[in-house]
Structure 1
Amino acid sequence: MTPAWVKDAVFYQIFPDRFRIGQGPAAQPAPVPADLEPWEAPPTLRGFKGGNLWGVIEKLDYLKDLGFNALYLCPIFSSTANHRYHTTDYFQVDPILGGNEALRQLVQEAHRRGMRVILDGVFNHCGRGHFAFQHVMENEAASPYKDWFYIYKFPLNAYSKHPNYAAWWNNPELPKFNTNNPQCREYLLSVAEHWLDYGIDGWRLDVPNEIDDDEFWREFRRRVKAKNPEAYIVGEIWDDARRWLQGDQFDAVMNYPLGRAVLGFVGGEALDRDLAAKSGLGRLESLGALACHHRLEELFNRYSWEVVTAQMNLMTSHDTPRLYSLLRGEVERVRLALATLFTLPGAPTVYYGEEIGMAGGHDPDNRRGMIWDDSRWQTSIQATIRQMAALRRHLPALRHGRYQYLYAQDGRLAFARVYERESVVVTINASPETWRVHIPLHGLWPRGEQVADLISGQAGRCVGGDLEDGLLPPFSLAVWQALG
């Protein structure tokens, strides 16, 4: 079984160095390093802007007001990189982020507000500064840690373009762990357990497919679930993930294929395909409503329903261009794309800054400092997220209901979410013309039933088994509910 709370989750992804510089508690103010990259300056690959976990704590109420009830934090452990995928100490929260005490307080404050916290687990590789790798660099064949890595020969040449060890994508900064080594394996599994004792609610696993050892992940699951049966284990798998979603490894994956389908449908001719093609999203194509439906239905049939309702559904992340830029600044399409995400099975996930319309191209431009000047916010996007999160919270069908196809033509898609005796109908107009809704309900509601769109408040009718009389403006969405 997947964790029950994830079906009700609305995730907000935070890149800690770029979210907010917090002050820390009055008794122990957070030390802010000198020589930081200016917050508003274009981000660079190596620059640190100084965001910390105290800043996240300061904005928990802002996030809760928008409807978010779960946080996914990019790596927070000691590292020599601003993104912290170059881990040097897995048992220490980076001092720049506030150290272990900041995480302890973040988890406490989040839980006090009914919010969950999951951390990014980078178990495939570490940074060159990790103690075990440093030991091998200093002692070479005499090091008891040499078998923690895939060493080809000595010297390691760790600061050359051609290192003598296996590294993630041949990047010498990221030596790859040998998880077949019992001591290395135990070390990594103990990391997973340690932070669960701190109260975190799960792990997002970085490039888990590169640890080509299903038994490692089975043991990981056993150890994590023994600590907390409700801990969420979600893997970064960009495509078909059936291998890892049989109930013995991960609970879910980051559902990029669903995001690509939504982007293709809502983005249409506005979609910046060149920008997408040079990122992890790959080549995105415009999708008509029927093609989008087929993509979605295939995804929902690919996995068990337990997994489908626990998927981390997202369109963008720290590894992709931003939504506002992918849709060429067309705010109506941005709002519609996000609204659509909230109506589909799985947990909607929003990358920091998308709720205010931040722009951003390829890494590192997609990791700009969060804008806290509200005069520069696209508040209509915030309003959409707030409204859709509230609808999801109050309608069990949007969280648990099965997807039932109703209608698809050109840029117009309709489907139902059916849960026990409750059902809602979602109509999406991804075209530039107004849509006078007339769609078959296939017996979903009785003839003559009065219905209303819970977003706009407009009324509709069930006539002869069809939903009629609703008007959808261009690039808008309605969620219909029977009033009887």
Structure 2
Amino acid sequence: MTAAHGSGVRHPAALPHHDGSPLYVSTQQPQLGEAVRLRLRVPRGFPPLRVVRVRSNPDREPSYADARVAHETPDAIWWQAEVRVENPVHGYRWLLEDFAANTWWLTSHGLSSIETRDIDDFRLVTFPAPPAWACGAVMYQVFPDRFARSAAADARKLPDWAEPADWGDPVIHEGASTGRQFYGGDLDGIRERLDHLALLGVDLLYLTPVFAARSNHRYDAESFDHVDPLLGGDEALVALVQAAHARGIRVMGDLTTNHSGDAHEWFRAAYENPEAAESAFYLWRDERQSDYVSWLGHRSLPKFNWNSPELKARFIEGVDSIVARYLQKPFELDGWRIDVANMTGRYRDDDHNEAVRTSIRRTMIEVNPDTLLIAESTNDASGGDFTGDAWHGAMTYANFTRPLWNWLSMPGSPAGGGLGMTLGRTTDYTGRDFYAAHREFVAALPWRTRLHTMNALDTHDTPASSPRRARAHFPSRRGSR
């Protein structure tokens, strides 16, 4: 913690500290009704305390537990209190009072001399825990078209939408060709270079979508039933996962639950056909079903209507769904990253996001509970979706990527990461600015969620310093959807 709000700035070493780690919380997987021991470290340089209490908020009504000194060292006093977990998300904060009757509140947002908000509380969560392997995983993202091309790619016929590029050609960053420029990277090309990833220390490979589509990014799926033949088809994905697993590398796929492509078999069946079973899968603006809601107005990406029970059954619910299929043999993916998760199920006065995300996780647990679920949330991920009820962590930019590149101040960096959220350039940050920005955007996330959030150096949605570097490190999707 860097500052006591309203009481001046102190050096972090002189401030009381608590977090959700095992040093401070007795169990990382609490159950409802379980008693949990909480510890607070108070450095000797802080005013001696007369009272230390934990304020919980069960059923949104405050209750208090007194803390006692549990341990002393030459440099700190350790206080301990016991609380009983009353709700699936149990919020708490520390109340401190010294012998001069000065009081402070300590929350995940820091130390404050004024009363704090519930949203800033520390949190214990009782939902099923993420897989143990995911905490501390070193992830490497691959955009299949741009990573590596096997010899087999030469024999594949190009689709009509593709604009072929030689492997050394510069990347087109703007305009209609951005999503059409086709290098022909495939899954066998990735498999042939797994030893390189292993040497880098990678133990989690994240693939952007591998389903057939009409773009190089493949976020506009034509079907979820099979892997794109341009990537080598189903057999190539099976072979890649098997080879990765043999090297101790897990593989995570990418699903678009917010939208499909306008060439998707479901959408083509429903377009201008209100009688089709799939007509309930999308959000239509007219009775004729010729006008429809799409992602940010891009007509190629019609938005799903999660009011539809049939859509849920086909896509996210049960062992026969799309979500389940690729986690099982023969594919055996180790998890999903969900594209545009922040918008999924949300349109005007409808909000089915919680129902969708919890259904996805229930299905994953049913098929293989040792799988990871990461959700894209392009800006502030602290709005309530990431309590741990389904998403294990966020793929986001405000908490790490943008602050990091602002601190490094590198020209052409991914500071605008997340589809140009900022000015598209870096701002000069000090190390303290970087830390403050990170803390600001993770304060509302439970400790478990923080440990499983994707802290990306860059991604396919961030600009790069040069066209050649962009092809090697994932292209921007900006303007290509």
Q: TM-score range by the shorter chain?
A: 0.5 to 0.7
| Paired AA for residue 108 in structure 1 | Q
Q: Which has the higher helix share?
A: 1
Tell me: CA distance 1:274–1:224, structure 2 relative to 1, closer, same or farther (3 Å).
Answer: closer
Deviation at 1:364, TM superposition (A): 7.6
Number of residue pairs matched?
325
Structure 2 unaligned spans of 5+: 1-128, 172-176, 347-351
1:218-237 paired onto structure 2 within 5 Å? 218-237=358-377
Number of the residue aligned with 1:184: 311
Tell me: CA distance 1:281–1:172, structure 2 relative to 1, closer, same or farther (3 Å).
Answer: closer
Residue among 2, 26, 41 paired with 2:169: 41
Number of the residue aligned with 1:303: 445
1:269-288 paired onto structure 2 within 5 Å? 270-272=410-412, 276=416, 279-283=419-423, 284-288=426-430
CA contact (8 A) 1:14 1:352 kept: no
| Paired AA for residue 293 in structure 2 | A
Number of the residue aligned with 2:379: 239
Distance in 1 of aligned mates of 2:443 and 2:415: 30
**Secondary structure, in 3 states, of the residue corresponding to 2:333?**
coil
Tell me: CA distance 1:265–1:10, structure 2 relative to 1, closer, same or farther (3 Å).
Answer: same
Number of the residue aligned with 2:472: 353
Tell me: CA distance 1:59–1:364, structure 2 relative to 1, closer, same or farther (3 Å).
Answer: farther
| Paired AA for residue 362 in structure 2 | R
Tell me: CA distance 1:21–1:168, structure 2 relative to 1, closer, same or farther (3 Å).
Answer: same
Number of the residue aligned with 1:141: 274
Number of the residue aligned with 2:256: 122
Number of the residue aligned with 1:291: 433
Tell me: CA distance 1:235–1:86, structure 2 relative to 1, closer, same or farther (3 Å).
Answer: same
Residue among 141, 145, 156 paired with 1:32: 156
CA contact (8 A) 2:221 2:264 kept: yes
CA contact (8 A) 1:276 1:282 kept: yes
CA contact (8 A) 1:126 1:175 kept: yes
Tell me: CA distance 1:183–1:21, structure 2 relative to 1, closer, same or farther (3 Å).
Answer: same
1:406-432 deviation line (CA, Å, top 9, x unaligned) = xxxxxxxxxxxxxxxxxxxxxxxxxxx
Distance in 2 of aligned mates of 1:308 and 1:244: 13
Q: Which moved more, 1:128-137 or 1:186-195?
A: 128-137
- Say whether residues 1:82 and 2:230 are aligned partners: no
Tell me: CA distance 1:274–1:200, structure 2 relative to 1, closer, same or farther (3 Å).
Answer: closer
| Paired AA for residue 207 in structure 1 | V
Distance in 2 of aligned mates of 1:274 and 1:259: 7
Deviation at 1:47, TM superposition (A): 2.3
Number of the residue aligned with 2:343: 210
Tell me: CA distance 1:182–1:287, structure 2 relative to 1, closer, same or farther (3 Å).
Answer: same
| Paired AA for residue 54 in structure 1 | D
Higher-Rg structure is 2
Deviation at 1:23, TM superposition (A): 3.1
* TM-score, scaled to structure 1: 0.62
1:54-100 deviation line (CA, Å, top 9, x unaligned) = 00000000111111111111110011111101101101100000000
Number of the residue aligned with 2:83: none
Distance in 1 of aligned mates of 2:263 and 2:381: 32
- Say whether residues 1:167 and 2:294 are aligned partners: yes
Deviation at 1:156, TM superposition (A): 4.5
* TM-score, scaled to structure 2: 0.62
**Secondary structure, in 3 states, of the residue corresponding to 1:82?**
coil
Deviation at 1:144, TM superposition (A): 2.3
Q: Which moved more, 1:123-132 or 1:34-43?
A: 34-43
Number of the residue aligned with 1:69: 203
Distance in 2 of aligned mates of 1:11 and 1:194: 23
| Paired AA for residue 276 in structure 2 | S
Deviation at 1:110, TM superposition (A): 0.3
CA contact (8 A) 1:128 1:174 kept: yes
